[in-house]
Structure 1
């Protein structure tokens, strides 16, 4: 469920009309709904009721400061994968003890940053990383709480580029080598084992891979405890899918995901950590864009938009589908015709949808890409010297720009010309 609905023939975000925002900030722009973000966080929390848990929002999905603060105020921790995300989390008021640091390539500088600023745990992904963290913690005279990310070799049945739990993926330590890794960790100074970490991928639409992975984690927990390790936390990652195509069957509900967690690992007495990102932010955001031209081609028509692949890369990078709707509601029974929706960037890959059935839409009209709140703005760029687009947050009948569009002068001023060229 989201809070983007037609009212009196016009698409609204909560109680704010989309054309009102477009008139104020110009197109294209991202628009997020406070009510939807809040609801999605609460639904995940309700799904874990009865188990001690912490929801660590995966910031890579959407790291806008306003979004982070909103979720932090609701009680969320944060899952970060870089020093920059750690800085963002702390700047938004998230305490260090609620930040989990993931990622396969943590640097010494990032380790020092988190150890001096406060950290809940590091999710260790390799033996070399574990050795490095031990040395950094020793140097600083502190103890680093760790889990080890195990790779369970489970096929998540998702897009190849976002699968992370198979043996050929770069993530984690093979679960077959976990006992040796934990034995090594227990002997290293400056480290304290607190749990196990697993994450098998993103946009999962089937609960069976979760069940298989979590059962493997449960068995490993018993083995490690028998070896003398104190396993008090299970970080189960995130990845539960969202409905990008409303005409298709919806992915499993968070409640069912919570039931799988309870049935597989609930008996272990561990605190459960989950790291949803897309599940919370995805359907809480839309991308609003204007039609520049309607172009009649050879055998097909094109809607040329003022948004481009640099603003929303998912269709080009993953062949991802987004429902695209006119901001002005079509009349009931309006004829639909296939069109290609494309951007203005000089790349054939700058295509959002091919032969998508759309009602009549002309130049100057607004369209909205649904389910664009995750992996939209965070993956955008200034390719073709196109400024990053604004992000706007709606709260009931109010809206505010939470990231402004830079001017061309601001973009250019980040470059410098060497003295010898002046």
Structure 2
């Protein structure tokens, strides 16, 4: 491939530029696009498309970089992978083997984390609406911490813990009213967001928690949003968190743990990726002198760059004269929801080395679902691709497969994990008959059927 040069502002990065910052990907003259040591056409030949592919090597490398950044400060943190980013057992197992814990937000995620071999003592339960059965399951499992998000939830948890005869280790999740500077749908630390306890009520509620039966307050938690690439919002939020620690201790209360949240962003297009070293410095600078245990909850930063979605061009559709053509893919918004939900940008690279160096053109990249929002990008500058060409949508390892649906009666895509020169199917493509396997028809419906031969 030609040497990559940075794109001009507003210009889509070239294939070479996208590859240059994704070390697990390479383009071979004969094999085409290769992930680690596996040609992606080999997977597409065997399984068809759309197909998700995860890189185990990328998960390990990014986890180690994150852990190393915090060790370098002299204050290692406990790393809890945000399971909502990617809940596949194989992904969780790879990260667990590196030492990762889990941050879960539902009873289902709790069970997945345990099934993947993550010890209960390394699991934190977050989320604004935990049910009583979920609280019971968390307490019975003996997880490390429950991040409580409201006074009302605290009272409910106290009731559940008493009934179970157990003690709930609790951190109060604080809403610091800090703008993370990210997309409105993934910011979580503003006063208008549903998450967390208002900052000005935190000290009193912590004191109240210490009086409740079945509750053992251990610390505070904070998460201000996702896809954050600047450190100033973190520093502002952590400085406010440090002030709360001092105010709580001034009341004679014990506090031993701080959960600093996640949200570190990646480079989808040409953004400057959030650096673990900078995050470690921000946490160490604002919180390192408080003598507490520290934890973080990364999701996207660990898993996002590890995943791809393989797809095939069904056809090129001409639009109005003078308008870019539509590249209609066999992948759709039911597979990858992020572009439709957040107007998110994902890099697109042909699997063929020949296609990768074809003349560039402007196209609209869309899926086949019957929604105008089923689009992966308008006016995208891409190498020319004809019907039958295969491509990879990049950086889909977080909030990709986990958000998929079967809308338009489209079965869930197959999933694969690559590790060095090996690859394996980690979830078979859903059979179309599975779409209605759990459906049932009430017996009285048959009585209302029209006579045979009826029509419009």
TM-score of Structure 1 vs Structure 2, range by shorter chain: over 0.9
CA distance in 2 between counterparts of 1:339 and 1:286 reads 21
Residue of structure 2 equivalent to 1:268? 290
- Of 35, 49, 66, 1:44 maps to 66
Give the TM-score of the pair, scaled to structure 1. Answer: 0.97
SS at match of 2:110: helix
The correspondence of residues 149-168 of structure 1 with structure 2, limited to 5 A, is 149-168=173-192
Tell me the residue number matched to 2:392.
Answer: 368
Cα distance in 2 between the residues matched to 1:24 and 1:251? 34
Give the structure with higher Rg (CA): 2
Q: Counterpart of 1:19? A: 41
What residue in structure 1 maps to residue 7 of structure 2? none
Question: Which residue of structure 2 aligns with residue 346 of structure 1?
Answer: 370
Distance 2:271 2:435 in 1: 43
Summarize the alignment of residues 246-261 of structure 1 with structure 2, pairs less than 5 Å apart: 248-261=270-283
Return the offset for 1:251: 2.5
Note if contact 2:67-2:76 (Cα within 8 Å) is conserved in structure 1. Answer: no
2:29 corresponding residue in structure 1: 8
SS of the equivalent of 2:376 reads strand
Corresponding position of 1:67: 91
Aligned 1:105-144 pairs, distance under 5 A: 105-144=129-168
The match for 1:313 is 337
Q: Does structure 1 residue 85 correspond to structure 2 residue 109?
A: yes
Quote the residue 1:295 is aligned against. Answer: 317
For 1:162 and 1:331, the matched residues in 2 are separated by: 35
Change (3 A) 1:380 1:332: closer
* 3-state SS, counterpart of residue 220 of structure 1: helix
Quick check: 1:56–1:275 contact (8 Å CA) kept in 2?
yes
Contact 1:52/1:270 (CA < 8 Å) preserved in 2?
A: no
Structure 2, gaps ≥5 residues long: 1-21, 447-456
Paired position in structure 1 for 2:383: 359
Task: Find the residue that maps to 1:19 and give its secondary structure.
Answer: helix
Relative to structure 2, which stretch is displaced further, 160-169 or 1-10? 1-10
Partner of 2:304: 282
TM-score, L = length of structure 2: 0.90
Equivalent pair of 1:72/1:94 in contact (CA under 8 Å): yes
Tell me the SS of whatever aligns to 2:210.
Answer: helix
Instruction: Write out per-residue CA displacement over residues 243-276 of structure 1, whole angstroms, 9 at most, x where no aligned residue.
Output: 000xx24133111111111111011111111000
Provide the secondary structure at the position in 2 that maps to 1:85.
helix
Report the Cα offset of residue 331 of structure 1: 7.0
**Pairwise CA distance, 1:2:** 4.0
Count of aligned positions: 420
Report if the CA contact (8 A) 1:2-1:283 is conserved: no
1:337 aligns to what? 361
Identify the structure with bigger relative contact order (alpha carbons < 8 Å, sequence gap 6+).
1
Counterpart CA distance in 1 for 2:257 and 2:379 is 48
| 1:230 equivalent in alignment to 2:251 | no
Asked if structure 2 preserves the Cα contact closer than 8 Å seen for 1:62 and 1:281, the reply is yes
Equivalent pair of 2:349/2:356 in contact (CA under 8 Å): no
- Measured in 1, the distance between the counterparts of 2:145 and 2:341 equals 32
CA offsets, 1:20-48, max 9 Å, x none?
00111110011010110001111111111
Runs (4 or more) in structure 1 with deviation over 2 Å come to 329-334, 419-422
